[in-house]
Amino acid sequence: MSRTAIIAGAGRLPAAVAGALEAPLVCALDGFHPEGLAVDQLFRVERLVPFFHALEDAGVTSVTFAGAVQRPRLDPALFDAGTAQLVPRLMAAMAQGDDATLRAVIGLFEEAGFAVQGTAEIAPDLVPGAGVLCGTPAPQDEADAARAAQIVQALGAVDVGQGCVVAQGLCLGVEALPGTDALLRGVAALPAGLRPVATRGIFYKAPKPGQDMRVDLPTLGPETVARVAEAGLGGIVWQAGGVICLDRAAMIAAAQDAGLFLWAR
């Protein structure tokens, strides 16, 4: 019987993906454990080839990536001979940025004989299609969303980030390495004189242009809604079919309580 392995990182997404699979093998990169999900096997990048063999022995034929990871610190003393041959390829990809690194990792799994499945394929309910989930975007919000989409497309083209905040056509902040929470905290701390008074503004999220949609999709959740409310914004907009919404019901409830709209654009 074929089996799917979840290559898990930190956070709640791996558990949500596991709920859509039958008896998945949960594998976590050492140091990045998922929340609310037991790990069957830990692995290290330095022992990647033996890990591939272990997956084969467990009957795994496909893998899916879920959860947050950061670039691990590699220990040269731990490399086996097979994985050591992959190091130049991985290091060259890492030097080109996150997108190149992810493409290289996907390529290694595929070359080892594993099909790579995306979250939208396994758990489509986690990736909403087009529509307004709650609230009503105003015409200015629609214009801000269009402007934000242009900004994120430009950022993504140089592998910078997947989100930004726009109010009345003005960009109040962009997502970079520190992440979404840092962006929204920065917007919340802006002096009143730097913020337009005619509109509250929107937080926008989308995948990078040309991104492999099987991995590293942007993720929103109830915590995002809380941060957006604290930043004084009017709603959240994201690219339909390209963003994961964790616990959609809780997101909608939190947005309604805060008077925010949620729009898969």
Per-residue b or e along 175-199, where b marks 16 or more CB atoms closer than 10 Å to that residue's CB:
beeeebeebbeebbeeeeeebeeeb
Structure tokens at 102: 């992810």
Opening angle at CA 221, ends 217 and 223, nearest 5: 130
Q: What is the CA radius of gyration of the chain?
A: 20
Strands 244-245 and 219-220, by their bridges, are: parallel
pLDDT of residue 177: 85
Mean pLDDT of 193-220: 90
- Please state the separation of Cα 147 from the chain's center in Å: 22
CATH 3.30.2320.20 fits domain 127-264: no
pLDDT in tens, 81-125: 999 998 888 888 877 777 778 888 899 999 999 999 999 999 999
Mean pLDDT of 221-235: 97
Q: Largest Cα–Cα distance of the chain, in whole Å? A: 62
| Averaged pLDDT of the chain | 93
Residue 202 · residue 234 · CB < 8 Å: yes
**What whole-number percentage of the chain has pLDDT above 70?**
100
Q: Above 80 in pLDDT, residue 18?
A: yes
Alpha-carbon span 141 to 143, nearest angstrom = 5
Alpha-carbon span 132 to 36, nearest angstrom = 30
In this prediction, residue 226 has a pLDDT band, given cuts at 50, 70 and 90, of very high
Structure tokens at 45: 């990048």
In this prediction, residue 152 has a pLDDT band, given cuts at 50, 70 and 90, of very high
pLDDT of residue 182: 96
Alpha-carbon span 57 to 201, nearest angstrom = 52
Whose tokens are 């109040």? That residue is 172
Alpha-carbon span 163 to 149, nearest angstrom = 9
pTM, two decimal places = 0.88
In this prediction, residue 1 has a pLDDT band, given cuts at 50, 70 and 90, of low
- What string of DSSP letters covers 236-258? EEE-TTSSEESSHHHHHHHHHHH
Structure tokens at 173: 């902040």
Alpha-carbon span 256 to 225, nearest angstrom = 10
Residue 186 · residue 173 · CB < 8 Å: yes
pLDDT of residue 170: 96
202: β partners: 166, 235
- Please state the separation of Cα 145 from the chain's center in Å: 20
**What whole-number percentage of the chain has pLDDT above 90?**
76
Cα separations (Å) of 7 from 43, 81, 106, 185? Answer: 10, 23, 11, 30
- What string of DSSP letters covers 47-89? GHHHHHHHHHHTTEEEEEEESB--PPPP-GGG--HHHHTTHHH
Q: Above 80 in pLDDT, residue 72?
A: no
Sequence spans of domains, the chain: 3-122, 127-264
CATH 3.40.50.40 fits domain 3-122: no
Mean pLDDT of 51-71: 93
In this prediction, residue 160 has a pLDDT band, given cuts at 50, 70 and 90, of confident
* Low-confidence winner among 10-24, 67-81, 139-153 (lowest mean pLDDT): 67-81
pLDDT in tens, 51-60: 999 999 999 9
Q: Above 90 in pLDDT, residue 140?
A: yes
